[in-house]
Amino acid sequence: MFTLRPRVMLVIIAIMSMYVGICHSGVILITYFEAYAVFAPFQARCISAQTADRENNRWLVGTLSLRYENEVHVLQLGENSSELVCQGLYTHRDEIWDIAACPFNTSLFSTVYSRAGETGTAVWKIPESRGNKSVVLPVEVAASLSSVPQQWKCTLWWPSGQHPQVASIGTEKIVLWNVEFPQNMSQASAGGSNHLEVGSWDPHDFNNIATASEGSIQCWDLRTMSSSTKIDQAHVLQTRHIDFNPQKKHLIATAGDDSWIRIWDLRKPSSPLHNLLGHHHWTVRVKYNPKYEELILSSGTDAVVNLWRVIDGSLTKSPSGLPRGLEDSLLRSYTEHEDSVYGIAWSALDPWVFASVDYDGRVMVGSVPMSTRKKLKGKM
């Protein structure tokens, strides 16, 4: 046992094939064959892969504490996948509701935060340690959208390359702004009856962003900041999340409070290509694998992370005329969490690895089963 800082200790206990430890703010780590779990004393809702790091499996996790100063944890999976370690810990005063790592600079990330009932969004810089790793430093503001009052939901980075523009989604508007010159911005209004919940940037068409408003999906042309394609009722209840297919154009996956995951072709918005009965309660996140678009990850308020495989052959109808369901597509359910799982993120380095965080502050790292890997590798 050794102390990293006054309220931080690391304890390592070996039990059979499991690794148990405590990392930084009392974070407990459990590692085993296809899943790893970390327990934190603070609540959390968001996690983001550090996509600019091309050498490590790393994620950023933001905490959500009302009583204490919040933190950003930099978690890294060891080279032999035997342990999950906290490589950095930084203070972030306010509650973190959304976090997104910069795709081209490991020291930058954005958050949506809450302070005294109001939300803000900013881009932050991870400070240099200056050789003293026992000192926990606060993150530094690199750019802020403080000039635009709004109930912010998320901030999206430009999908490819080193580009200073980001898009922030608020309940009433979308703001496209420049991290280097925050005063340079353009805005689109969602309209009085629409309350935007989340957004996703099209990796195939950088002029296109999709947003969710109640049960509907709306696409926006960033050149004119006007709405384009619309799916009127993607879900019966609130649409919680959207993700574009990284390999095929026009395809998106959506998750909703009606428990369903749906896959859509934006050129044919009248009906989904596929339906998956995602979870036993709200389905709050859905993410395509960055390399193997057949693999989809989802999480819900039932404390479960599901791994799906949706292949072209499954995008058909059953003999009854209804879309084929989960029996053809659900590969595995990961049940290590004990509370609602609000954040999931595939590794930016290893396409077989992903991480998730639940409201209790537990982070789980899981992997795609070997049998599935062999099938997908055989197709390439």
Domain assignment present for residue 70? The answer is yes
pLDDT digits (tens, 9 = 90+) for 36-76: 555 556 899 999 999 999 999 999 999 999 888 999 999 99
Q: In angstroms, how far is CA 255 from the centroid of its own chain?
A: 13
Domain assignment present for residue 72? The answer is yes
**21 has which bridge partners?**
12, 29
Q: Phi and psi for 293 in degrees, rounded to 5?
A: -70, -10
Domain assignment present for residue 2? The answer is no
Q: What is the pLDDT of residue 12?
A: 24
Q: What is the pLDDT of residue 306?
A: 96
- The parent domain of residue 104 ranges over 43-379
* Number of other residues whose CB lies within 10 A of the CB of residue 152: 26
Cα–Cα distance measured from residue 366 to residue 346, given in angstroms and rounded to the nearest whole number? 10
Overall number of domains in the chain: 1
Residues with Cβ within 8 Å of residue 238, at least 6 apart in sequence = 197, 212, 214, 215, 256, 257
CATH number for 183: 2.130.10.10
- State yes or no: pLDDT of 198 exceeds 60: yes
Q: What is the pLDDT of residue 327?
A: 43
Domain assignment present for residue 17? The answer is no
Cα–Cα distance measured from residue 268 to residue 281, given in angstroms and rounded to the nearest whole number? 28
Where b means 16+ CB within 10 Å and e means fewer, 252-286 reads bbbbbbbbbbbbbbbeebeebbbbbebbeebbbbb
Residue with tokens 């072709």: 265
Residues with Cβ within 8 Å of residue 233, at least 6 apart in sequence = 215, 216
Domain assignment present for residue 97? The answer is yes
Domain assignment present for residue 132? The answer is yes
* Number of other residues whose CB lies within 10 A of the CB of residue 327: 8
Domain assignment present for residue 278? The answer is yes
First to last CA, the chain: 47
pLDDT digits (tens, 9 = 90+) for 199-211: 999 999 999 999 9
pLDDT digits (tens, 9 = 90+) for 211-227: 999 999 999 999 988 88
Domain assignment present for residue 27? The answer is no
Give the confidence band of 329 by pLDDT, cuts at 50, 70, 90. confident
